[in-house]
Structure 1
Amino acid sequence: MTNPPGLLISAPSSGTGKTTVMLGLLRALAEDGLTVQPFKSGPDYIDPAFHRAAAGRASFNLDSWAMGAPLLGAIAAQAKGADIVVAEGSMGLFDGVAKPGELGHGSSAETALRMGWPVVLVLDVGGQAQSAAATALGFRMYNPDLPFAGVILNRCASPRHERLTRLGMERAGLPVLGVLPRRGDLTLPERHLGLIQAVEHPDLESAIAGYAAFLREHVELEAIKRAASSGPMGPSSAALPRPPAQRIALARDAAFSFTYPHLLEGWRAAGAEILPFSPLADEAPAPDADLVWLPGGYPELHAGTLAAAERFLTGLRRHAETRPVHGECGGYMALGEGLIDKDGTRHRMAGLLGLVTSYEKRRFNLGYRRAELLADMPGFSAGTALRGHEFHYSSIVEQSDVPLARVFDAEGAEGPQTGSRRGHVTGTFFHLIAEASA
């Protein structure tokens, strides 16, 4: 049995327009009556929500550094019932870490190889013509085993520019699947972690419809459909992550939204109840929940609102007296004593941990993490190894609690951001992706 045929949209680097191509292609294919399954290669927290808005179907991350073969197969199996798969790469096609994880180095090329998806390479051809073919050919030949569908030429300045660039591609023997003229309005708004969240876009539906119309005019959709291919079907959803509790109160709003879709799918598939609530709307977690989970997000943009959310804070503190609370990154910060915003103003947080974090002097924290738990956390016992990803600009000012884990980067270097625990409360700066053996 095989997965539906698929493609992976990638590029030589970030900033080439692949997300615009991805969203337009998802919507255009859906408009043609196809059931389209989106995926995201790598640990990005934000793009899957955009994919879902474009395709009308949940998107999932596939990560060859953090996920073992059983979990990768279980996530790939979420494409069951789809007519075509379209996956979006991260960074450049071959970009990954120096040391492999469970399966590999975490590159988009590894995802494409594992799943049997031919690569569509989006090239920004601004400032060059025939020379763009040398770049494309280098990507085509870097790993000859990688299936390659062709190229989409982005930001083409004129008919003459297109003609010259196509000449180079013809000489290199590379199929041109589309040529997108330069348009300044085809960009998505960004902030310091990348794109703004889908829920924050002022008119996302209109934007996606515009991308689809643009691609329909300038891309050979039928050729793209014909290029799609796939590998063998993975195992059943039984390999998805198990829930850390039966009734899980999950913070869910513009301040707390970075939860990997495969985690939630695994929790629901195992029968757990997800009970969403909004701290920004001053909602308390469900009083009969077994666990409160605060995901990452942008609490620093809403620190004043969170500090004044008395029903939320009171309900959270009451829950923590007898039952577990866990926070990731932004959720971890909200569990602390205080959060200092970029202007230097300190905002009172929940006070369930002794953590104080600051954005006054931005410090870049980015990369995969391997954690060895020193104590239990929801869903995992002490001694378990976890894999996750960290991406934030905050720094620790105070941390008075005992460490939750020993935390290492992708190259094995141990770091100081250990997470912390106090009573029933735990928190980490990394976003959980999987148990290391999954």
Structure 2
Amino acid sequence: MTITAPRGIIIAAPRSGAGKTTVTLGLLRALARRGMRVQPFKCGPDYIDLAFHTVAARRTSFNLDGWAMSAAQLQGLVSAVTADADIAVVEGVMGLFDGAPQPGRAGRGSAADIAALLGWPVLLVLDVSGQTETAAAIALGCAKFRADVQIAGVILNRVASERHRALIDPGFKTIGLDVLGALARNETLTLPERHLGLVQAQEITAIESHLDNLADQISRSVDLDALLARARIGHSREQAGDAGFGIRPPGQRIALASDAAFSFSYPHLLRHWRAAGADIVPFSPLNDDAPDAAADAVWLPGGYPELHAGRLAAAQAFLAGLRAMAARGVPIHGECGGYMTLGAGLEDAKGTRHGMAGLLGLETSFVSRRLHLGYRHATLLADCSLGVKGASVHGHEFHYATILSEADDPLIACRDASGRAIAERGSRRGSVTGSFLHVLSGEAA
């Protein structure tokens, strides 16, 4: 049976910081207010933008990662979650053609790769601060760079005045590329940020009014009808069922830490686990909830435990519940922030050490921040919640913690996107495992 993706469009830019997220969120909310069923996606491994997308569109957003996911996985996910959607809106990652380094090729995992695979055109967001006709030259370069990527039009961002706009327009008339809208320079449209990116959606008390303001600006400044007319039906393909993501459910009943300290769960994996028959039971360590004692697996995703270290150290029911389950041999896995929480101690940015669960010997510190960033390919050194010994997993590392000590057996042998061996090793002790990887997909041994 041949299936076809719905109409879709990809919001991309020549560089990071040009306004992709602002335009995407405003567009999602504006279309949702029209009564459209809008399916949001995010290119790459980002987890913070997903939560904003979900609130804006009132529909769960999913990652489309061309580095960590196969074409079959990407197409299968898109087909499944857009089955009842009117349109798909994808926010790109970095610059349109920017991807991870790969031996023998220019890049992989870019927004352009997703556009080419799915057949959806690109709406280019241009930060025109300090530019006039040069903006058209940049857009023309993007339009000509790859024959399999179509630029459907542009939105100008941070336009200083009507006179500024008038100086920009002639260049686009020369190259024959339509300007579908222009957003004035307005700092109130910008979301607050911290060291891993935007502050989380759940932390902004006025998130709904902010999104409505963005939607108002987009509705006034962008020709939405013209934009919708440029969205295209995606490439058709032979239906092959749900390709899955190679990370089996770690248990039949999974206790999932879920709050402001542990919010970096990938929706596609949770969806995959539920489809495989697993029950997922959320709990809040910050509220001192113990994981469900009836669970046969515990999963602590990443997040910001360093911002809540004092509360976590004082959460006795939570910590005692973890320790009791570990004593019974229940598999417990932590990713990044979850990994640090399973460790012995976490030193915050002020130098205060907070005792953690003590189920692993890991000691971490935020006193001297050092960025660890990039895609990771890891081989499992033992059976664990991620799979069996010898299996491969694909993930992403993004944190500023310094490892003071890792006292347990290593969990993974790790390489970066270019194939170079790196120091990330994770830890395992009994049924408890963890690493700094946010795992996106896996492969059988």
**TM-score (ref. length: structure 1):** 0.97
- Residue deviations 1:159-189 (CA, integer Å, cap 9, x gap): 1111111111111111111111111211000
Q: Match of 2:320, as an amino acid?
A: T
> Do the aligned residues in 1 keep the contact of 2:12 with 2:96 (CA within 8 Å)?
yes
TM-fit CA distance, 1:86: 0.3
SS in structure 2 opposite 1:146? coil
TM-fit CA distance, 1:126: 1.0
Whole-Å Cα distance in 2 between the matches of residues 96 and 22 of structure 1?
Answer: 20
SS in structure 1 opposite 2:263? strand
Which of the numbers 325, 344, 351 marks the counterpart of 2:351? 344
Do the aligned partners of residues 405 and 103 (structure 1) sit closer, same or farther apart at CA in structure 2, a change above 3 Å counting?
farther
Q: Match of 1:212, as an amino acid?
A: A
**Pairing 1:173-322 to 2, within 5 Å after superposition:** 173-229=176-232, 230-232=234-236, 235-237=240-242, 239-240=244-245, 241-321=247-327, 322=329
Which of the numbers 140, 146, 155 marks the counterpart of 1:152? 155
Whole-Å Cα distance in 2 between the matches of residues 110 and 90 of structure 1?
Answer: 11
Q: In the alignment, what sits opposite 1:134?
A: 137
Verify: 1:107 aligned to 2:113, yes or no. no
- Residue deviations 1:38-62 (CA, integer Å, cap 9, x gap): 0001000111111110111111001
Whole-Å Cα distance in 2 between the matches of residues 301 and 129 of structure 1?
Answer: 43
Verify: 1:32 aligned to 2:57, yes or no. no
TM-fit CA distance, 1:235: 3.8
- Residue deviations 1:280-321 (CA, integer Å, cap 9, x gap): 000000001000100000000000000000000000000011
Question: How large is the RMSD of aligned CA atoms in angstroms?
Answer: 1.6
Q: Match of 2:168, as an amino acid?
A: T
Q: Match of 1:58, as an amino acid?
A: T
Do the aligned partners of residues 82 and 102 (structure 1) sit closer, same or farther apart at CA in structure 2, a change above 3 Å counting?
farther
Verify: 1:371 aligned to 2:378, yes or no. yes
Any stretches of 5+ residues in structure 1 without a counterpart? Answer: none
SS in structure 2 opposite 1:414? coil
Whole-Å Cα distance in 1 between the matches of residues 104 and 339 of structure 2?
Answer: 25
TM-fit CA distance, 1:10: 0.5
> Do the aligned residues in 2 keep the contact of 1:247 with 1:273 (CA within 8 Å)?
yes
> Do the aligned residues in 1 keep the contact of 2:44 with 2:64 (CA within 8 Å)?
yes
- Residue deviations 1:310-360 (CA, integer Å, cap 9, x gap): 000000000011211000000000000000111111110000000001110
Do the aligned partners of residues 273 and 102 (structure 1) sit closer, same or farther apart at CA in structure 2, a change above 3 Å counting?
farther
> Do the aligned residues in 2 keep the contact of 1:371 with 1:405 (CA within 8 Å)?
yes
SS in structure 1 opposite 2:152? strand
> Do the aligned residues in 2 keep the contact of 1:245 with 1:379 (CA within 8 Å)?
no
Which moved further from structure 2: 258-267 or 137-146?
A: 137-146
Q: In the alignment, what sits opposite 1:432?
A: 439
> Do the aligned residues in 2 keep the contact of 1:69 with 1:103 (CA within 8 Å)?
no
Q: In the alignment, what sits opposite 1:331?
A: 338
> Do the aligned residues in 2 keep the contact of 1:189 with 1:196 (CA within 8 Å)?
yes
Any stretches of 5+ residues in structure 2 without a counterpart? Answer: none
Whole-Å Cα distance in 1 between the matches of residues 277 and 150 of structure 2?
Answer: 38
Q: In the alignment, what sits opposite 2:128?
A: 125
Whole-Å Cα distance in 2 between the matches of residues 399 and 293 of structure 1?
Answer: 20
Identity of aligned residues (%): 57
Q: How many residues are paired up? A: 438
Do the aligned partners of residues 60 and 140 (structure 1) sit closer, same or farther apart at CA in structure 2, a change above 3 Å counting?
same
SS in structure 1 opposite 2:354? strand
Whole-Å Cα distance in 2 between the matches of residues 390 and 437 of structure 1?
Answer: 21
> Do the aligned residues in 2 keep the contact of 1:65 with 1:100 (CA within 8 Å)?
no
